[in-house]
Structure 1
């Protein structure tokens, strides 16, 4: 029987599987960005807001936030880029807290708040982000579960799990329930550390969420595969992938990378080749990622025979190779 088949087993309980341009002045901002001929782009609006914020013209920032949404140029991660961790940070934030309630009600205001919260989280200013959450709650500015996502994501990535759960309690005090994405942040953090016991607790909480039925999504399973791989449980990782296939869920490239990595590290070289070949032919880019990554890992471990087989397969399929792999292929496969 193929080694691959021995490792790919159907699983019904995934918890069990785991257990097994900034210098210009903006003093003369045009209150109507569309006064000149032609339509502004999203990037142009970001630049205008950057210049307005840098120069302290926050009334212009407010007008631009309104105008850009009206013209379908929505906020981006660069919208509040003028906000940094410099000495002028605090006054800028207070100015933004003053003008955001004056933006157009509805989507414009909500999205402005959420974009600013995401920016603060990127700067690791969680406490300031929570101040904005409080502003939204007091002003009744359509606070939602997704508003909390950047905060939970940042805290769990930094392994500040207790503080992240306190943020969840804040959500619930606003009558907001956790969604799959929220749980995935916690799950990924625990699985990255290989803490399958805590990951199982998160899954249990997810299943028991009051009044809601939530099904694991692609990122949930990616975290579970990661957790299995971090724990050295190759069989569990393969079974989780099998379950994803059965449910018709797309598999992230990273999920395959987790499995390939643990197989090679565990010395399952033949199995790793069988694994990538089992998925080959469905997605060219995935094939390039899987086969290329595996070949590189095999070469690094001096498993040249297996690496040659993988590179031959890449050549036959017309897949792109990096310069290092191409050089190895030409020297060790073609010439030999």
Structure 2
């Protein structure tokens, strides 16, 4: 498939406007703090309000902070991020319009929370309209922005559509990164093409690209879901002994997958290997070991 033969290099993109301007809002219920405050205090208030979902307090704190720092870009970025976590995408876009009118420096990272939120919800058309808005404001796409689209398509196993995103990346001359490859491996596994996923993984290693733990997890999941249990163990063993963190994640992930599929025989083998290597286990795997593996080991010791 063209996606798998494509050379993983370069990208960049831009957009058209579809923002609205924020109507006046009333914050009469929020008490304005007396005395002079540091901007970090307002940042803390914005973060706390965002965690609790208190949009009115977020907005009020933002307005106060903006006054304190003459509408600094950092205050806007914080507000946009919090609004996206609350699912208030339209309000986040309006804030960007305010930033643009105030001639603050818009960067790709300003749009990241919006693109991330929309692509996760599979609102791809809306996300591309945001890209058009970026273009109209002379804000280029970066690799992180593209990765949101790539991951969304690959998660659904849409390799042809993901291939189109890769084409845009190449045309825009932006280098791909570990997240880009991770998405491609995920996409190949979701489409049932585990061999292709492993080929991409080898390509990452050849090109010196850092391989994420999640990339290994995608391959393990693909092998188990395809019924290739022995190959799953072989794959994990092939990378064992190089990275303790990776070993704990990979062996544990494989064992957990096997237990869920009731492949208890294979799961026991993996868990025993974890014990031999001194790898940490999660609570569920520890319970599985105590109930199904420890007694077997004790009986073997008694026999010896």
TM-score by length of 2: 0.81
Give the unaligned 5+ runs of structure 1: 1-10, 16-52, 70-74
Cα offsets for 1:193-213 (capped at 9, x unmatched): 11111111111111111xxx3
Shift of 1:14: 6.1
Distance 1:315 1:164, change over 3 A: same
Cα offsets for 1:147-179 (capped at 9, x unmatched): 000000000001111110000111111101100
Correspondence list, 1:12-91, <5 A: 13=6, 56-58=30-32, 63-65=37-39, 75=43, 79-82=46-49, 89=55
8 Å contact kept, 2:46–2:57: no
Q: Secondary structure at the match of 1:63?
A: coil
Give the unaligned 5+ runs of structure 2: 9-26
Give the whole-Å Cα distance in 2 for the aligned partners of 1:81 and 1:279. 42
Indicate the residue corresponding to 1:132 in structure 2. 95
Q: Secondary structure at the match of 1:250?
A: coil
Which range moves more in the overlay, 225-234 or 298-307?
298-307
Distance 1:224 1:270, change over 3 A: same
Equivalent residue in structure 1 for 2:80, among 117, 140, 151? 117
Ranked by relative contact order (alpha carbons within 8 Å, sequence separation 6 or more), the top structure is: 2
Cα offsets for 1:88-126 (capped at 9, x unmatched): x45863x45644542325xx8111110110000000000
Equivalent residue in structure 2 for 1:310, among 267, 270, 279? 270
Indicate the residue corresponding to 2:112 in structure 1. 149
Total equivalences in the alignment: 274
Indicate the residue corresponding to 1:280 in structure 2. 240
Correspondence list, 1:169-184, <5 A: 169-184=132-147
Cα offsets for 1:245-297 (capped at 9, x unmatched): 11222222221111111101111111111100111111112111111221232
Indicate the residue corresponding to 1:248 in structure 2. 208
Equivalent residue in structure 1 for 2:162, among 195, 199, 203? 199
8 Å contact kept, 2:46–2:61: no
TM-score by length of 1: 0.74
Distance 1:139 1:256, change over 3 A: same
Which range moves more in the overlay, 261-270 or 311-320?
311-320
Indicate the residue corresponding to 1:34 in structure 2. none
